[in-house]
């Protein structure tokens, strides 16, 4: 929509991957400047153990830490989807939605990474970083959005 502010220009302009540039734009849009911000990008095939360890490192930082975790669900939820139709995509996304809604870090930690790759869910690695950062849990979750426009699963949740 034309009423959105333009995304911030990272320095240098090509220094951020798309997901981190979008995250920076979202943070700038809400005026987030009360604390230092750093971005962590992970390849989609980052091993689960590494993702969970990175999350635990973030959880161990001094002071309060907020995470903005970005990752797509499956990309195969329709005939016109980028990954065409794979009947496993919608149930995979439904499981992720349930885990995000319940702030179920154990479910995210146990994601089937092979299935995630097969259905094109590049959010698996970031979600597992979130699982590691959630520590022993005790968080409450809310699922704010669960849709699949263009056959790609997009989920928005808040854990606090």
What's the pLDDT at 12?
A: 45
DSSP three-state, residue 159:
strand
Domains of the chain: 1-39 (no CATH), 45-159 (3.40.830.10)
Other beta carbons within 10 angstroms of residue 91's beta carbon come to: 12
How confident is the model over 90-116, as pLDDT tens digits?
999 999 999 999 999 999 999 999 999
Mean pLDDT of 117-131: 95
- Spatial distance between the Cα atoms of 112 and 127, rounded to a whole number of angstroms: 12
Band of the pLDDT at 26, cuts 50, 70, 90? confident
Band of the pLDDT at 72, cuts 50, 70, 90? confident
Residue that the structure tokens 């094109």 belong to: 120
Residue that the structure tokens 């195969």 belong to: 76
């Amino acid at each position: 929509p034309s009423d959105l502010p333009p995304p911030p220009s990272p320095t240098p302009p090509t220094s951020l991957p798309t997901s981190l540039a979008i995250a920076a734009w979202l943070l700038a849009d809400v005026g987030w400047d009360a604390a230092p911000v750093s971005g962590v990008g992970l390849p989609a095939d980052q091993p689960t153990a590494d993702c969970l360890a990175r999350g635990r490192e973030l959880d161990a930082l001094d002071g309060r830490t907020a995470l903005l975790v970005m990752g797509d669900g499956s990309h195969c939820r329709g005939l016109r989807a980028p990954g065409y139709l794979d009947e496993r995509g919608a149930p995979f996304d439904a499981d992720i939605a349930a885990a995000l809604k319940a702030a179920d870090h154990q479910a995210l930690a146990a994601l089937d990474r092979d299935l995630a790759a097969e259905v094109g869910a590049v959010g698996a690695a970031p979600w597992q970083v979130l699982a590691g950062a959630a520590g022993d849990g005790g968080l409450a979750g809310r699922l704010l959005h669960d849709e699949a426009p263009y056959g790609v699963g997009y989920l928005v949740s808040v854990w606090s």
